[in-house]
Amino acid sequence: MKHRLLPSVLLTALLTTAAPVMAQTAGPSAAVVERIAELKKQAIQGVESRAKLAQEMNDSIFSFGELAFQEFETSKYITEILEKNGFTIKRDVAGLPTGWVATWGSGGPVIALGSDIDCIPKASQKPGVAYREPMIEGAPGHGEGHNSGQALNVVAALALKDIMEREKIPGTIMLWPGVAEELLGGKAYMVRDGVFNGVDAVLFTHVGNNLQTAWGQANGTGMVSVEYKFSGESAHSAQAPWRGRSALDGVELMNVAWNMRREHLRPEQRSHYVIPDGGDQPNVVPSVASVWYFIREQDFENIRKNFEIANTISEAAAKMTDTTVTRQVIGTAAPRHFNKAIAEAAYANIQQVGMPQWTEDEQAFARAVQRTVKGKEEGLATTVKKLEPPADKPESGGSDDIGDISWTVPTITLNYPANIPNLPGHHWSNAMSMATPIAHKGVVAGAKVIAMTGIDLLSRPELLVQAKGYFTSEQQKNQKYVSMISAEDKPQVQINADVMARYRPEMKKYYYDPSKHATYLDQLGIKFPVLEKPKN
Ligand SMILES: [Zn+2]
């Protein structure tokens, strides 16, 4: 028997009158609870009926394989789909040529769905085979799985939009991409330029190997990514070395000083560098040299402090070598802090959706990939992870620029099981599952949770109040957001242009064509799962 739905006018009336009472009592009335459960059922159906679209988007973006700041094909593809479905697109957002914001609906609440879109250098890999085989030697590839999140978000958004239209539920759905996440290069600029002004909640999705979310301060760090460029004077290194001033000396002295100084920093810090430019050839005194640092810490104060120490060291090194130094911030990430009320709402939906049902083929493939990279051979997870309270003392580690957004708007990250546990990360093996049924099922499971949590945010005003309350009183009790970029800093959008120009012509031959092939595996002639390299 089909449920008769309460008209939305009545729902709104119920919610409005019930809201003040709900703060002290058990929660929304039975009628509202039933109504929300029914809407979530529709959200699940709306996602399931779009499983084909999810697969096509996931596989197409996988085939584009675009590096940070060069996500042109990916952004064009996603925005065209959204535009066809009635979304309004704003392009070139926050100085990012591949950035955009898509909106549909009117008024509040404004719910923003985001996910990263860039890939990993040199991670080109055939999907569905459990051994190393690049599609194109040396080319970039989705060795993290950022090809899947937008497929998830778009499908969830379209399912939500259907329900909002039919039930006349007010609110705005906004979608946006994480541009250049692998360089922590986009989100702080989007925050600085006001992209999230007026947004009530951000549901961020990131590929993982379980269906899970979290609240409070996450493990890991925030950071500044900054390049120091030294300038000196060139000369013949043998004939007139006294006339030269080596920019490379500046770089080396800076590194020596930093390596000594780091002993006297908090053990929570993480810092590392590479030398993108160390000069041209030994017999020419390097007139220009640069060193690129990631400076990571767990709170705003210490990130700022360590950044200032590095700046001082760079200037001292320049002084010692009679060179000059300039610096360019390439990216930043705030430490991540996620919202308790939204995480709890999402977790209830996670428990309802559960992990995908994996086939024996999928499990065998996962174990074969784990074997290939000497990870623990335990296959795919079959039960969802519990929502745990945050650690008293979060562990140090990596960063993600969703942090900046999490200090601007109540935010959660949902991880969804499109990848395989126990892989190295940022690695070709992390691409192996990303255009297979494992990714397709993981995306659909995640899309259900996002669509259902969207229903919660749109139809439970008390949830938005709780989310805002946590954001204002709990999260910001001891620290407030400090942006590490200045008003003059600009996204470094030229990065990776040369690499993409080199590989794109060849990569184009492998773009997925859904009009001709059911899946990307079909197009590539791969009979999933291929567990071992064929011997010939
Ligand atoms: Zn990522």
Same domain, yes or no: 211 and 227 = no
Same domain, yes or no: 188 and 144 = yes
Task: State the distance from the centre of ligand 1 to the C-alpha of 308, rounded, in angstroms.
Answer: 27
Give domain status of residue 510, yes or no.
Answer: no
Same domain, yes or no: 344 and 228 = no
Task: State the distance from the centre of ligand 1 to the C-alpha of 149, rounded, in angstroms.
Answer: 10
Task: State the distance from the centre of ligand 1 to the C-alpha of 271, rounded, in angstroms.
Answer: 19
Same domain, yes or no: 237 and 369 = no
For residue 109, whether the previous peptide bond is cis, meaning omega lies within 30 degrees of 0, is: yes
8, 168 Cβ separation under 8 angstroms: yes
Task: State the distance from the centre of ligand 1 to the C-alpha of 495, rounded, in angstroms.
Answer: 18
Task: State the distance from the centre of ligand 1 to the C-alpha of 116, rounded, in angstroms.
Answer: 6
Task: State the distance from the centre of ligand 1 to the C-alpha of 316, rounded, in angstroms.
Answer: 36
297, 303 Cβ separation under 8 angstroms: yes
Q: How many CB atoms lie within 10 A of CB 386?
A: 9
Residues in a beta bridge with 104: 173
Can you tell me the distance from the alpha carbon of 200 to that of 471, in angstroms, rounded to the nearest whole number? Answer: 11
**Which two three-digit tokens encode residue 332?**
């930043």
Coil, helix or strand for 225? Answer: strand
Same domain, yes or no: 415 and 272 = no
Give domain status of residue 52, yes or no.
Answer: yes
Task: State the distance from the centre of ligand 1 to the C-alpha of 221, rounded, in angstroms.
Answer: 14
Task: State the distance from the centre of ligand 1 to the C-alpha of 119, rounded, in angstroms.
Answer: 9
Give domain status of residue 499, yes or no.
Answer: no
Same domain, yes or no: 33 and 165 = yes
Q: Report pLDDT for 13.
A: 46
Task: State the distance from the centre of ligand 1 to the C-alpha of 175, rounded, in angstroms.
Answer: 17
Q: How many CB atoms lie within 10 A of CB 83?
A: 12
Helix axes 340-353, 30-48, angle to 10 degrees: 60
Task: State the distance from the centre of ligand 1 to the C-alpha of 387, rounded, in angstroms.
Answer: 21
Task: State the distance from the centre of ligand 1 to the C-alpha of 527, rounded, in angstroms.
Answer: 28
Give domain status of residue 494, yes or no.
Answer: no
Task: State the distance from the centre of ligand 1 to the C-alpha of 125, rounded, in angstroms.
Answer: 17
For the chain, the domain total comes to 2
Among 433, 464, 479, residue at a domain's last position: 479
Task: State the distance from the centre of ligand 1 to the C-alpha of 182, rounded, in angstroms.
Answer: 7
Task: Please report, as a single letter, which amino acid is at residue 125.
Answer: Q
Among 479, 498, 526, residue at a domain's last position: 479
Helices (H), 168-212: 187-192
Can you tell me the distance from the alpha carbon of 188 to that of 194, in angstroms, rounded to the nearest whole number? Answer: 10
Q: Report pLDDT for 2.
A: 40
156, 146 Cβ separation under 8 angstroms: no
Give domain status of residue 57, yes or no.
Answer: yes
CA dihedral 407, 409, 412, 413 (to 10 degrees): -70
Task: State the distance from the centre of ligand 1 to the C-alpha of 334, rounded, in angstroms.
Answer: 15
Same domain, yes or no: 346 and 300 = no
Q: Report pLDDT for 29.
A: 87
301, 267 Cβ separation under 8 angstroms: no
Closest CA to 448 of 342, 351, 344: 351
Read off φ and ψ for residue 496, nearest 5 degrees. Answer: 75, -5
Task: State the distance from the centre of ligand 1 to the C-alpha of 144, rounded, in angstroms.
Answer: 6
Closest CA to 346 of 204, 167, 443, 150: 204
Task: State the distance from the centre of ligand 1 to the C-alpha of 517, rounded, in angstroms.
Answer: 28
Q: Report pLDDT for 26.
A: 56
Give domain status of residue 109, yes or no.
Answer: yes
172, 110 Cβ separation under 8 angstroms: yes
Alpha carbon 116 to chain centroid, angstroms:
4
Q: Classify the C-alpha dihedral 16-19-25-30 as positive or negative.
A: positive
Burial category of 481 from C-beta neighbours within 10 Å (exposed 0-12, middle 13-18, buried 19 and up): middle
Same domain, yes or no: 290 and 430 = no
Can you tell me the distance from the alpha carbon of 97 to that of 73, in angstroms, rounded to the nearest whole number? Answer: 12
Give domain status of residue 251, yes or no.
Answer: yes
405, 411 Cβ separation under 8 angstroms: yes
Same domain, yes or no: 209 and 240 = no
Coil, helix or strand for 233? Answer: strand
Residues of 119-154 as b/e, b for ≥16 C-beta within 10 angstroms? bbbebbbbbbbbbeeebeeebbbbbbbbbbbbbbbb
Q: What's the 3-state SS for 71-133?
A: CHHHHHHHHHHHHHCCCEEEECHHHCCCCEEEEEEECCCEEEEEEECCCECCCCCCCCECCCC
Same domain, yes or no: 44 and 138 = yes
Among 282, 317, 333, residue at a domain's last position: 333
Each residue's pLDDT tens digit, 434-450: 999 999 999 999 999 99
Domain extent at residue 227:
223-333
Task: State the distance from the centre of ligand 1 to the C-alpha of 283, rounded, in angstroms.
Answer: 42
Each residue's pLDDT tens digit, 40-83: 999 999 999 999 999 999 999 999 999 999 999 999 999 999 99
Task: State the distance from the centre of ligand 1 to the C-alpha of 96, rounded, in angstroms.
Answer: 18
| CATH number where 259 lies | 3.30.70.360
| CATH number where 129 lies | 3.40.630.10
Same domain, yes or no: 121 and 16 = yes
Q: Report pLDDT for 158.
A: 98
Task: State the distance from the centre of ligand 1 to the C-alpha of 147, rounded, in angstroms.
Answer: 10
Give pLDDT tens digits along the chain (536 positions).
Answer: 444 444 444 444 444 444 444 444 456 789 999 999 999 999 999 999 999 999 999 999 999 999 999 999 999 999 999 999 999 999 999 999 999 999 999 999 999 999 999 999 999 999 999 999 999 999 999 999 999 999 999 999 999 999 999 999 999 999 999 999 999 999 999 999 999 999 999 999 999 999 999 999 999 999 999 999 999 999 999 999 999 999 999 999 999 999 999 999 999 999 999 999 999 999 999 999 999 999 999 999 999 999 999 999 999 999 999 999 999 999 999 999 999 999 999 999 999 999 999 999 999 999 999 999 999 999 999 999 999 999 999 999 999 999 999 999 999 999 999 999 999 999 999 999 999 999 999 999 999 999 999 999 999 999 999 999 999 999 999 999 999 899 999 999 999 999 999 999 999 999 999 999 999 999 999 999 999 998 87
Give domain status of residue 488, yes or no.
Answer: no
Task: State the distance from the centre of ligand 1 to the C-alpha of 331, rounded, in angstroms.
Answer: 15
Task: State the distance from the centre of ligand 1 to the C-alpha of 234, rounded, in angstroms.
Answer: 41
Coil, helix or strand for 234? Answer: coil
Percentages (nearest 5) of helix, strand, coil residues in the chain = 40, 15, 40
Q: Strand (E) positions, 298-442?
A: 324-333, 337-338, 411-417
Same domain, yes or no: 346 and 458 = yes
